[in-house]
């Protein structure tokens, strides 16, 4: 590809392809350096690390493409071509001719370099040899974290050459050691012309001197320097200045997308977009930050930093995210296999509340095709999925595995902590872990999140909030701490404050429907159903299939008396929960809600089934019992209703509704029933026209009735009726004495008659009358 | 039911022995104790007789084992000696044909292969179990595969969950907290056991279902377990707790193998349902022929007498039980209840001291001591002891009810209500708890609730005078006289000689009041007065006591007019009253004067 194709016509300051002018003038390595800088010197990070791999295992086949890349990046930045050290492996071309054999892999530069090769040869002399080897010292020192060394020798080189590349490396060393101001100064101060030692001045582009005069800033010439300067400013929290430096938006937008698959590392433009996004984030303009990250990812799909900000920072809604990540230009930018791999990797890290099966399939691919079954990031994907299904125990197992391999894994740790919060038996371990984290990583947001969570588990809301806000001070983009901070208010019953806190979280994480959902829930708690529903709708716009959200929508619909809509929502929620294959017990309340809606619609049978489902899932749900009781009462089965109200009240004795309903039911029962209509009474005793003197006593199931009292008593009393009647009718005006004697006689006869009757009926029963007579119950 | 043949008894002894070993292995100590007692209750000649399994007993007692489900085939079976299980499955009826088969059939001599494999782990776990390191048992056996080891594991988990749930309670009457603490753990255990049909695991499943208040599932599990292992008394007694009506019992009886154990069960159920009768007595006597040395049966007999309110005989029986086995503590709580009711304080005190000496850490003994303190009106101390009893056994019905009574004594109705509710949660058949609840609500002046609970009590004890009287009183308080009358009428059915006249008086008065409100004379009221008079005459009561009835009847006869009214009778009655020292003498004399005047006019 001819260089002209992607070389902007002019511009020294923001040339994506590098300054052809300088390239022409700069000799040898310097020219190649500047080219690489202007093209994509952000490689420097990448290539450094790659280089170190390369150094340690120069001939490992597996790292072949890595070494290729590292080699390439390093070759671009380092002046090693001159050095006798050919550590980069056997494939490394001989010094001087370095670019040429690799032209196939770096066709993009090939044109440039071949044109410059002649010049390289011309300007070669022995002093270059010394500077070049010092450059090697410098770069090796950086690799080996000997920053002082790097700065020391780099400074000397810079003094000699005044070259922008050398300045860049010194600034890099400053940056890495945290001397941000120095780095910034070096990059932004107008540089005096280099002290020329001999004809070293030739190293500087004569055109620069001629055209721009002596005072030129590095950042004006080199994009990489500009980027580094911006990083320095960010590190010093001078965000506005940084943004000024780097520009509010990408000036290379129209050319940024041009690239070919599989040829290069991570693009500087993409990195700069990412930096810009970070700046916008810091300056709280989230929309622009999001645009920047999106742009960064479009320019280079490999830019995981941008991906992470977008996805883990929940800047996009679930659907938006899904669409965007799926439609990135993998194929255009990467080779086939790489494209697939990157795509699967990204998909596996997407939010787990929709497209669960696709995500699981992507993870399966990663495990099976790419043998990444032990990779922490892939495992985090699994853990997230389990967490989204409320499978705390399983998730905990996975996160424990990840953390054992990689302590403090940023993806796994918050999940791990959340699981520990959800499993009561692990609360002590949570305490221990928080303790350890405070000792090991007092500067990490997740550490203080862990501490806050420990207090949260113990329902000590104030302390919990203190530590959550500490976590947020450390990292304002740490979503879990924001949400739990708000949760702490909500749990404490401080609904207004909770709403404020959730709103903050919602502003910071616009892609999260959970915050909106929570705001809605708080409004519901405050009986502002209409307002709540608006929030639920907003949440539904982000993620409409969340069962929890559907449940809340159902509640809102129920509150405005739209019961059929409510039923619809609840049913969808339950169906959605079923698809999640998570623990079904979490959805007991939804079943109960469904029951309520059905009950209001007079669909009693279905309502009963819904309540039964609720009780099956959660046997401690008193509302479900009370509602079942209501159904029974509505259907006229007061006795069952009373029994069920009792079940409800035994679970929550203070429930005012159930108490009132029970009293109503009891009253109804007393009105409607008399003591004879009890279930369980023997038929004989339940007769309304019962004559106690003619009841054949006994329960057929068990034989004769238990005799506690003297049964003859009744018979005796019963007999007297007939007797007195007969006395009245027959004896007439007889004197009292005669009547009493005849009564006595009549009595004795009738008793025997009755006794024989008894013996006929219960042949094997013998009554112990006398003993029963004596008993006095307390 | 005829007494089993000698051969069947030998078989029974053998089965008992093997079951005892299985129970002991599984930590089911109460059941093992019971089975061992039963074994010793067999006559010695049957116990010592050689067991000849190849001569099949004529009467197979209670071991109609259904063919076992095929064991899951494991790798172990390839190198372990395999029991002849094929034969068993194909020819279950011929199972006794050879010694080895008979052994496998009862599953002891030849343990399951898996059990043999993890024998060492199992023994270790058993040691932990014996010293109550329950979680350690679970941990040790986490990979166990043998049914015996798995049972021990789940059983330990069950006990541990139960203990933790109780310890997590802030207040010991907090039902909701208890459920919240217990249910998740139990659901996990249930899920872990799965669909295993091994008899002891079935029993454990039943227990878990029971704690989860899934009664039907629990019953199904217990029945299946019993069919395989009929000598597991714990299983029977848990099942007995679940029988809530006579109909349920009859239904269950169909499903269970007929055996002496079923009779034991029937006795327990009938005692529980308060339907103790002479039929039960007959059953006990029959069993005593088979198990002549059984102290358990003796105690059951005492219980039956107690339930029949034959307290004297019951006391005699209890004393005999104590003489036969002075260290037996099982029914001593009921004995103490009875002594309390009989107001035999001295004997109660003696008993309390004797048993406190033996072991204060038995719920029954705690209950006895609680009763003792209650009899001395030291209610706070009594409650302490009932609570102590409940610490040892939270499902201990008697203690809950008695504690409720004590709270009533202390005028703490709310605590009483909680205690009674607990008792009802454990066993809804406990009429005393229902009655107590009714009383407590009556004290709280909540008549609707009182009616509901008295209603429950009456439906459990349809012939119990006290329940109906209490119910009638509440209705009376509400001014619902006809309902009160209906209730009193039913109270009459179970009333004794002291109660009957009182109830009759009430009925007479109620009818009179009711009719008076309707502006007419009361025929029914007079009828009851007549009955009162008849009864009074029979019992030989003084005229003074019956004066009101005499006058009422006389007034009725006078009102009816000379044609239909029996003025002569009226005159007789009035004379009687007038000649007595009754309060109504003046009124009687006045009425006599009126009667004379009317006679003169007529």
Give A521-566 pLDDT, tens digit per residue.
Answer: 888 888 888 888 888 888 888 777 788 888 888 988 888 888 889 9
Q: Is residue A764 part of a domain?
A: yes
Least confident of A649-658, B135-144, B319-328, B437-446: A649-658
Regarding pTM above 0.80, the answer is: no
Size of interface A-B (CB pairs under 8 A): 199
CB contact under 8 A, A739 and B569: yes
Q: Mutation test of the interface with chain B: which of A616, A655, A717, A746, choosing the one with the most B Cβ atoms within 10 A?
A: A717
pLDDT at position A264, please? Answer: 62
Q: What is the DSSP string of B344-373?
A: -HHHHHHHHHHHHHH-TTSHHHHHHHHHHH
* Higher-scoring residue by pLDDT: B206, A30: B206
| Residue A652 with chain B: CB contacts under 8 Å | 176
Q: Is the pLDDT at B274 greater than 80, yes or no?
A: no
CB contact under 8 A, B464 and A690: no
Length of chain B: 602
- Adjacent-strand bridge partners of B263: none
pLDDT at position A4, please? Answer: 38
Rounded Cα distance between A552 and A576, Å, is: 14
Residue B495 near residue A708 (C-beta atoms within 8 A): no
Q: Which residue of B has its CA nearest to A771?
A: B310
pLDDT at position B368, please? Answer: 92
- State which of A40-54, A333-347, A367-381, B326-340 shows the largest mean pLDDT: B326-340
Distance from CA of A766 to the nearest CA of B (A): 8
| Residue A584 with chain B: CB contacts under 8 Å | none
Distance from CA of A731 to the nearest CA of B (A): 10
Closest residue to B212, CB basis, from A619, A653, A777: A619
Q: Does A578 touch chain B (CB under 8 A)?
A: no
Radius of gyration of chain A (CA): 43
Q: What is the DSSP string of A230-288?
A: HHHHHHTT-HHHHHHHH-SS-TTHHHHT---TTS-S--HHHHHHHHHHHHHHHTT-HHH
Distance from CA of A676 to the nearest CA of B (A): 7
Domain of residue A730, residue span: 711-770
| Residue A706 with chain B: CB contacts under 8 Å | 274-277, 307-308, 463
Q: Is the pLDDT at A39 greater than 60, yes or no?
A: no
pLDDT digits (tens, 9 = 90+) for B194-218: 888 888 999 999 999 888 878 888 9
pLDDT above 90 as % of chain A: 4
Q: Is the pLDDT at A676 greater than 80, yes or no?
A: no
pLDDT bracket for residue A688 (50, 70, 90): low
CB contact under 8 A, A728 and B569: yes
The stretches of B112-213 forming alpha helices (DSSP H) are 113-117, 119-130, 134-140, 147-167, 175-193, 199-211
Rounded Cα distance between A244 and A270, Å, is: 18
Supply the DSSP symbol for A80.
Answer: G
pLDDT at position A765, please? Answer: 28
pLDDT bracket for residue A466 (50, 70, 90): very high
| Residue B400 with chain A: CB contacts under 8 Å | none
Distance from CA of A749 to the nearest CA of B (A): 13
Q: Is the pLDDT at A186 greater than 60, yes or no?
A: yes
pLDDT at position A323, please? Answer: 84
Task: Decide which of A196, A220, A239 is a domain's last residue.
Answer: A196
pLDDT at position A102, please? Answer: 34
Q: What is the DSSP string of B262-331?
A: HHHHHHHHHHHTT---HHHHHHHHHHHHH-TT-HHHHHHHHHHHHHTT-HHHHHHHHHHHHHH-TT--TT
> What residues contact residue A5 under an 8 Å CB cut-off, 6+ apart?
none
Average pLDDT over residues A441-454: 90
Least confident of A293-302, A326-335, A348-357: A348-357
pLDDT digits (tens, 9 = 90+) for A313-329: 788 877 788 888 888 88
Supply the DSSP symbol for A714.
Answer: H
CB contact under 8 A, A704 and B278: yes
CB contact under 8 A, B274 and A707: no
Rounded Cα distance between A30 and A614, Å, is: 74
Rounded Cα distance between B481 and B487, Å, is: 10
Q: How many CB atoms lie within 10 A of CB A336?
A: 11
Average pLDDT over residues B530-555: 79
Supply the DSSP symbol for B458.
Answer: H
| Residue B572 with chain A: CB contacts under 8 Å | 735-736, 739
Q: For domain B466-601, give the fold.
A: 1.25.40
pLDDT digits (tens, 9 = 90+) for B59-103: 444 444 444 444 443 333 334 333 333 333 333 333 333 333 334
Q: Is residue A777 part of a domain?
A: no
Supply the DSSP symbol for A773.
Answer: H
Closest residue to B500, CB basis, from A652, A713, A728: A713
Say how many CA atoms lie within 13 Å of B352 toward its Cβ. 23
Please tell me the total count of domains within chain A: 2
pLDDT at position A57, please? Answer: 37
Q: For domain B394-461, give the fold.
A: 1.25.40
Q: Is residue A393 part of a domain?
A: no
Q: What is the DSSP string of A469-526?
A: HHHHHH-TT-HHHHHHHHHHHHHHT-HHHHHHHHHHHHHH-TT-HHHHHHHHHHHHHT
CB contact under 8 A, A778 and B535: no
Residue B490 CA to its chain's centroid (Å) = 24
CB contact under 8 A, B492 and A675: no
> What residues contact residue A65 under an 8 Å CB cut-off, 6+ apart?
none
Q: What is the DSSP string of A15-45?
A: -TT--HHHHHHS-HHHHHHHHHHHH-TTHHH
Q: Is the pLDDT at A711 greater than 50, yes or no?
A: no
CB contact under 8 A, A709 and B569: no
3-state secondary structure of B48: helix
pLDDT at position B373, please? Answer: 93
Q: Is residue A41 part of a domain?
A: yes
| Residue A697 with chain B: CB contacts under 8 Å | 463, 493
Q: Tell me whether the CATH fold assigned to B394-461 matches the one assigned to B466-601.
A: yes
Pair of tokens at residue B99: 């010694």
pLDDT at position B172, please? Answer: 65
Average pLDDT over residues A658-666: 86
Q: Is residue A324 part of a domain?
A: no
Q: Is residue A141 part of a domain?
A: yes
Rounded Cα distance between A252 and B220, Å, is: 77
pLDDT at position B2, please? Answer: 56
Average pLDDT over residues B150-179: 82
| Residue B252 with chain A: CB contacts under 8 Å | none
CB contact under 8 A, A734 and B568: yes
| Residue B550 with chain A: CB contacts under 8 Å | none
Supply the DSSP symbol for B257.
Answer: P
C-alpha torsion angle, residues B321, B327, B331, B336 (rounded to 10)? 90
Q: How many CB atoms lie within 10 A of CB A766?
A: 10
Q: Which residue of A has its CA nearest to B492?
A: A692
CB contact under 8 A, B213 and A675: no
Rounded Cα distance between A729 and A297, Å, is: 116
- At residue A686, φ and ψ (nearest 5 deg) are -85, -5
Distance from CA of B449 to the nearest CA of A (A): 7
Secondary structure in 3-state letters for B189-201: HHHHHCCCCCHHH
Residue with tokens 């002399």: A125
pLDDT at position A582, please? Answer: 62
Length of chain A: 778
CB contact under 8 A, A620 and B179: yes
3-state secondary structure of A703: strand
What does pLDDT average to over chain A? Answer: 70
ipTM of predicted assembly, 2 dp: 0.73
Q: Where are the domains of chain B?
A: 6-112, 394-461, 466-601
pLDDT at position A687, please? Answer: 66
Average pLDDT over residues B133-156: 89
C-alpha torsion angle, residues B45, B47, B53, B59 (rounded to 10)? 80
pLDDT bracket for residue A748 (50, 70, 90): very low
Q: Is residue A164 part of a domain?
A: yes
pLDDT at position B385, please? Answer: 92
CB contact under 8 A, B486 and A690: yes
What does pLDDT average to over chain B? Answer: 80
| Residue A638 with chain B: CB contacts under 8 Å | none
CB contact under 8 A, A733 and B464: no
DSSP percent split of chain A into helix, strand, coil, nearest 5: 70, 0, 30
Q: Is the pLDDT at A745 greater than 80, yes or no?
A: no
Closest residue to A719, CB basis, from B309, B496, B534: B534
CB contact under 8 A, A743 and B537: yes
pLDDT digits (tens, 9 = 90+) for B218-251: 999 999 999 888 889 999 988 988 888 778 888 8
pLDDT above 70 as % of chain A: 64
Q: How many CB atoms lie within 10 A of CB B81?
A: 8
Judged on CB neighbours under 10 Å (0-12, 13-18, 19+), B59 is: middle
Task: Decide which of A146, A161, A196 is a domain's last residue.
Answer: A196
> What residues contact residue A730 under an 8 Å CB cut-off, 6+ apart?
none
Pair of tokens at residue A753: 């008659």
| Residue A765 with chain B: CB contacts under 8 Å | 277-278
CB contact under 8 A, A744 and B537: yes
pLDDT at position A450, please? Answer: 92
Q: Is the pLDDT at A145 greater than 80, yes or no?
A: yes
CB contact under 8 A, A772 and B249: no
CB contact under 8 A, B279 and A702: yes
pLDDT at position B294, please? Answer: 87
Rounded Cα distance between B482 and B487, Å, is: 9
- State which of A14-28, A191-205, B436-450 shows the largest mean pLDDT: B436-450
Helices B175-193 and B147-167 cross at an angle (nearest 10°) of 170
Closest residue to A692, CB basis, from B279, B492, B569: B492
- Adjacent-strand bridge partners of A699: A703
CB contact under 8 A, B309 and A708: yes
CB contact under 8 A, B531 and A720: yes
Q: Is the pLDDT at A619 greater than 80, yes or no?
A: no
């Amino acid at each position: 590809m001819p260089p002209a194709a992607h070389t902007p016509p002019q511009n020294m300051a923001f040339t994506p392809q590098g300054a052809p002018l300088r390239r022409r003038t700069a000799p040898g390595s310097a020219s190649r350096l500047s080219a690489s800088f202007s093209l994509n010197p952000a490689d420097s990070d990448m290539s450094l690390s790659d280089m170190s791999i390369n150094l340690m295992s120069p001939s490992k086949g597996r790292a072949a493409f890595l070494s290729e890349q590292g080699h390439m990046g390093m070759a671009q930045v380092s002046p090693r071509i001159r050095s006798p050290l050919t550590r980069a492996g056997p494939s490394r071309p001989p010094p001087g001719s370095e670019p040429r054999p690799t032209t196939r892999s770096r066709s993009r530069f090939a044109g440039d370099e071949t044109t410059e090769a002649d010049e390289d040869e011309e300007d070669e002399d022995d002093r270059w040899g010394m500077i070049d080897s010092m450059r090697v010292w410098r770069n090796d020192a950086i690799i080996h974290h000997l920053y002082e060394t790097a700065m020391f020798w780099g400074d000397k080189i810079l003094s000699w050459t005044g070259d922008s590349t050398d300045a860049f490396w010194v600034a890099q060393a400053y940056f890495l050691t945290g001397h941000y101001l120095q780095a910034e100064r070096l990059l932004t101060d107008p540089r005096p012309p280099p002290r020329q030692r001999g004809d070293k001045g030739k190293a500087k582009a004569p055109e620069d001197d001629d055209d721009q005069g002596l005072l030129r800033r590095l950042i004006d010439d080199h994009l990489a320097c500009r980027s580094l300067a911006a990083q320095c400013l960010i590190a010093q929290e001078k965000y506005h200045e940084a943004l000024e430096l780097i520009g509010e938006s990408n000036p290379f937008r129209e050319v940024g997308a041009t690239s070919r698959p599989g040829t290069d590392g991570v693009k500087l433009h993409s990195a700069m977009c990412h930096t810009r996004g970070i700046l916008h984030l810091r300056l709280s303009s989230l929309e622009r930050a999001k645009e920047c990250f999106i742009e960064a990812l479009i320019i280079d799909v490999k830019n995981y930093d941008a991906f992470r900000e977008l996805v883990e920072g929940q800047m996009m809604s679930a659907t938006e995210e899904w669409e965007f990540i799926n439609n990135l230009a993998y194929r255009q930018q990467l080779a086939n296999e790489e494209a697939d791999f990157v795509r699967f990797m990204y998909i596996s890290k997407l939010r787990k509340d929709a497209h669960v099966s696709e995500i699981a399939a992507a993870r399966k691919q990663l495990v099976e095709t790419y043998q990444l079954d032990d990779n922490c990031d892939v495992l985090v994907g699994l853990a997230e999925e389990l967490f989204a299904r409320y499978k705390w125990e399983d998730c905990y197992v996975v996160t424990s595995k990840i953390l054992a391999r990689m302590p403090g894994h940023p993806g796994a740790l918050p999940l791990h902590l959340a699981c520990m919060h959800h499993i009561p038996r692990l609360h002590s371990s949570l305490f221990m872990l928080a303790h350890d984290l405070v000792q090991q990583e007092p500067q990490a947001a997740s550490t203080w999140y862990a501490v806050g969570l420990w207090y949260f588990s113990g329902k000590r809301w104030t302390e919990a909030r203190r530590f959550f806000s500490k976590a947020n001070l450390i990292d304002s983009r740490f979503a879990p701490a924001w949400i739990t901070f708000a949760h702490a208010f909500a749990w404490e019953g401080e609904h207004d404050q909770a709403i404020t806190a959730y709103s903050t979280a919602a502003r910071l994480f616009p892609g999260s429907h959970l915050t909106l959902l929570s705001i809605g829930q708080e409004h519901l708690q405050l009986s502002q159903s209409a307002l709540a529903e608006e929030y639920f709708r907003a949440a539904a716009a982000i993620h409409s299939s969340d069962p929890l959200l559907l449940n809340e929508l159902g509640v809102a619909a129920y509150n405005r008396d739209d019961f059929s809509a409510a039923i619809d929502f609840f049913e969808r929620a339950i169906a959605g929960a079923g698809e999640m294959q998570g623990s079904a017990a979490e959805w007991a309340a939804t079943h109960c809600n469904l029951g309520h809606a059905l009950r209001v619609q007079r669909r009693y049978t279905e309502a009963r089934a819904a309540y039964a489902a609720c009780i099956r899932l959660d046997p401690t749900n008193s509302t479900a019992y009370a509602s079942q009781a209501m159904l029974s009462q509505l259907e006229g089965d007061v006795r069952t209703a009373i029994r069920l109200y009792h079940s409800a009240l035994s679970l929550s004795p203070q429930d005012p509704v159930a108490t009132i309903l029970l009293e109503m039911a009891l009253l109804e029962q007393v009105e409607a029933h008399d003591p004879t209509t009890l279930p369980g009474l023997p038929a004989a005793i339940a007769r309304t026209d019962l004559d106690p003197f003619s009841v054949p006593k006994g329960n057929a199931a068990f034989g004769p009735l238990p005799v506690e009292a003297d049964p003859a008593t009744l018979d005796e009393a019963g007999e007297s009726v007939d007797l007195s009647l007969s006395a009245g009718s027959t004896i007439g005006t007889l004197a009292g004495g005669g009547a009493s004697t005849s009564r006595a006689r009549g009595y004795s006869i009738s008793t025997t008659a009755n006794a024989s009757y008894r013996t006929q009926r219960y042949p094997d029963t013998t009554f112990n009358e006398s003993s029963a007579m004596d008993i006095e119950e307390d | 039911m005829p007494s089993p043949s000698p051969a069947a008894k030998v078989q029974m002894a053998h089965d008992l022995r093997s079951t005892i070993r299985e129970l002991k292995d599984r930590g089911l100590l109460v059941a093992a104790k019971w089975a061992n007692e039963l074994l010793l209750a067999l006559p010695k000649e049957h116990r010592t007789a050689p067991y000849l399994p190849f001569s099949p007993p004529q009467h197979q007692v209670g071991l109609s084992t259904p063919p076992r489900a095929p064991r899951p085939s494991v790798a172990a079976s390839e190198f372990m000696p395999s029991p002849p299980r094929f034969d068993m499955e194909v020819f279950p009826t011929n199972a006794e044909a050879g010694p080895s088969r008979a052994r496998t059939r009862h599953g002891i001599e030849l343990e399951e292969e898996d059990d043999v494999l993890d024998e060492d782990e199992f023994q270790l776990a058993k040691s932990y179990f014996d010293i109550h390191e329950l979680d350690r048992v679970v941990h040790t056996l986490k990979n166990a595969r043998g049914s015996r080891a798995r049972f021990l594991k789940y059983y330990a988990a069950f006990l541990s969950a139960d203990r933790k749930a109780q310890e997590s309670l802030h207040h010991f009457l907090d039902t909701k907290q208890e459920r919240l603490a217990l249910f998740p753990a139990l659901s996990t255990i249930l899920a872990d056991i799965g669909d295993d049909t091994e008899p002891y695991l079935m029993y454990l499943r039943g227990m878990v279902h029971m704690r989860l208040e899934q009664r039907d599932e629990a019953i199904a599990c217990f029945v299946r377990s019993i069919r395989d292992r009929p000598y597991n008394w714990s299983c029977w007694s848990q099942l007995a707790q679940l029988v809530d009506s006579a109909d349920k019992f009859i239904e269950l009886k169909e499903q269970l193998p007929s055996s002496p154990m079923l009779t034991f069960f029937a006795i327990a159920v009938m005692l529980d349902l308060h339907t103790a009768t002479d039929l039960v007595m007959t059953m006990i006597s029959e069993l005593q022929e088979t198990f002549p040395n059984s102290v358990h049966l003796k105690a059951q007999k005492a219980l039956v007498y107690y339930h029949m309110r034959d307290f004297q005989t019951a006391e005699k029986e209890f004393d005999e039980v104590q003489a036969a086995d002075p260290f037996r503590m099982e029914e001593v709580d009921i004995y103490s209840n009875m002594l309390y009711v009989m107001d035999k304080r001295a004997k109660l005190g003696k008993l309390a001291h004797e048993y406190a000496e033996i072991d204060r850490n038995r719920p029954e003994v705690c209950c006895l001591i609680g009763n003792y303190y209650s009899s001395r009106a030291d209610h706070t101390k009594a409650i302490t002891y009932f609570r102590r009893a409940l610490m040892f056994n939270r499902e201990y019905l008697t203690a809950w009810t008695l504690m409720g009574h004590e709270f009533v004594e202390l005028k703490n109705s709310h605590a009483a209500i909680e205690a009674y509710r607990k008792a009802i949660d454990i066993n809804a058949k406990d009429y005393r708890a229902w009655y107590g609840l009714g009383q407590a609500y009556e004290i709280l002046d909540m008549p609707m609730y009182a009616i509901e609970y008295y209603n429950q009590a009456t439906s459990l004890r349809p012939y119990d005078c006290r329940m109906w009287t209490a119910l009638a009183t509440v209705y009376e308080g509400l001014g619902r006289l006809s309902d009160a009358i209906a209730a009193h009428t039913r109270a009459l059915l179970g009333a004794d000689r002291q109660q009957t006249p009182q109830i009759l008086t009430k009925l007479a008065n109620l009818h009179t009041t009711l009719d008076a409100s309707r502006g007419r004379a009361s025929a029914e009221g007079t009828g009851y007065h007549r009955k009162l008079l008849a009864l009074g005459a029979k019992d030989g009561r003084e005229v003074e006591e019956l004066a009101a009835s005499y006058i009422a009847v006389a007034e009725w006869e006078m009102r009816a007019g000379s044609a239909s009214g029996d003025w002569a009778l009226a005159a007789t009655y009035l004379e009687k009253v007038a000649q007595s020292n009754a309060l109504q003498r003046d009124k009687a004399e006045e009425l006599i004067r009126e009667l004379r005047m009317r006679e003169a006019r007529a």
